[in-house]
Amino acid sequence: MPGYKASSGPADVLASGTVISLNREPIKVSFGAEGQELSVVFRFLDDPKAKEDEAGVEIKEVDSQTAEITLRNFKSSVPRGSSTALRLGLIDGLGVYLHYRVQDIGPGDKTLQFTIFRLRRAAIP
């Protein structure tokens, strides 16, 4: 987004936004320079018999430029997500982190809020 800059403490925001899934499909967020884009895919899996407190997160590396995050049973109307930033990897030797929140207001599509950060120096203090 031209002309847009945001930061928090020792990190710059690379991407941030709110996306509502379409037909309960995964949400893919891509960021970075053209030809060097990195992606995070958010998948939502719900067990109709699971209780609200049975939520879980699985993170896996699909390839060197794609991470997949599976969010199980994020069925609350109250946003749920990361309480501390999740490390995704490195860009130019600097840590890349993610914060996210998911909200579900019924048996329809999920609302995802996310912020992806890159440190300005090698480590979080």
Tell me what pLDDT residue 50 has: 81
For the chain, the domains span: 7-119
- Confidence band of 3 (pLDDT split at 50, 70, 90): confident
Tell me what pLDDT residue 123 has: 60
- Confidence band of 91 (pLDDT split at 50, 70, 90): confident
CA distance 46 to 71: 8
For the entire predicted model, the pTM comes to 0.86
Q: Take residue 110 and report the two structure tokens written for it.
A: 């999920």
What confidence tens digit (pLDDT) does each residue in 4-56 have? 899 999 999 999 999 999 998 999 999 887 877 899 999 999 888 887 678 88
**β-pair partners for 102:** 80, 112
Tell me what pLDDT residue 109 has: 92
Give φ, ψ of 68 to 5 degrees: -120, 130
CA distance 119 to 89: 11
